[in-house]
Amino acid sequence: MLKHRLISGFSFMGLVALMAFFAPTWVIALFILVLCALAVIETVDLLNAAKYPALKWTAMIVGLLWMGAAWLGAAVPEWKIVYGLMPALSAWAIFLGCLFRRDQSRSLEKLTGTFCAVAYAPGLMQFLLLILVLGRGPSHGDGRMLLFYGILVIKFTDIGAYFTGSAFGKHKLIPRISPAKTWEGVFGGICASTAVSLIYFALFKQTISGMVFGWGDAVILGVLLGVAGILGDLVESMLKRGADIKDSGHWIKGMGGLLDVLDSLLFAFPVLYLYLQWVLLRGA
């Protein structure tokens, strides 16, 4: 199990590294959109397992439109108004999608499930695209190294928490949600995220995607992203426990489904985006 988990994890990180250094920006954006579509499918399947039927195609179309509007709204000023209207447009689409269905059974549950599917994957994954466009280098609108930084820090939180918890874990974190997670694992994960953040800043000489960071930013972001990643992991554990399933899918050997890989990223990337906007860009 551990062997497959490590192979899958480092294969994922290898793919991310290759894309960060060599793929065009539009390819990275398209890859994120594909991941979003797959994450919506998994979320709908998870909701169905919990007896909350969701409208799969409605959730996917609305979610991808929201992601597309986020990308265009950040890259093209004229599209900002469309992006600002997306919450209302999404609500209209979901309500009308239920209203005009021939089968009106369990409409309230379908509405609830569809809103949840859109909010969980596209609603949080849009920040990957926003950060990609927010970057300032090597040309304006290229934030690939910011994405790579975030993924490295967040995933090493998972690795640090797993090995520290396995070796020293005694005090349970939230056993009713995730019996295996411990406070020792949380501490190890945050130490790992902070260490990786500092190493990354040192390697890139404190300039990432054209943005200038200080060592204090490295420490603060290491802690914030580590905590947010752990919370994202716990939220997905809560969803799986509610659906009485072990993994969100079976796509990735040793790790489960796509949501089992993305869960920590979903909660951490909004934190990274807010820090970039409210702290670094305001201070520039």
Alpha carbons 66 and 39: distance in angstroms, whole number: 14
pLDDT at 78 over 90: no
Alpha carbons 162 and 126: distance in angstroms, whole number: 27
Mean pLDDT of the chain: 87
Q: What is the pLDDT of residue 255?
A: 61
Q: What is the pLDDT of residue 250?
A: 67
Q: What is the pLDDT of residues 238-275, one digit of tens each?
A: 988 888 887 776 666 656 788 888 999 999 999 999 99
Enter the pTM of the model: 0.91
Alpha carbons 75 and 125: distance in angstroms, whole number: 17
Q: What is the pLDDT of residues 23-76, one digit of tens each?
A: 888 899 999 999 999 999 999 999 988 888 888 999 999 999 999 888 888 878
pLDDT at 193 over 70: yes
Name the nearest CA neighbour of 261 among 133, 188, 127, 159: 159
Q: What is the mean pLDDT of residues 165-179?
A: 89
Alpha carbons 87 and 90: distance in angstroms, whole number: 5
Local confidence band at 3 (pLDDT 50, 70, 90 cut-offs):
low
Local confidence band at 283 (pLDDT 50, 70, 90 cut-offs):
low
Name the nearest CA neighbour of 110 among 91, 94, 92, 124: 94
Q: What percent of the chain has pLDDT over 70?
A: 91
Q: What 8-state DSSP symbol labels residue 206?
A: T
Q: What percent of the chain has pLDDT over 90?
A: 49
Alpha carbons 273 and 41: distance in angstroms, whole number: 25
Long-range CB contacts (< 8 A, 24+ apart) of 237-244?
Answer: 237/177, 237/178, 237/181, 238/177, 239/46, 239/50, 239/120, 240/46, 241/177, 241/178, 242/50, 243/46, 243/47, 243/49, 243/50, 244/49, 244/50
Name the nearest CA neighbour of 186 among 173, 176, 199, 197: 173
Encoded amino acid at 262, one letter: L
pLDDT at 135 over 70: yes
Phi–psi pair at 103, nearest 5 degrees:
-85, 110
Residue ranges of E strands in the chain: 172-174, 178-182, 207-208, 211-212
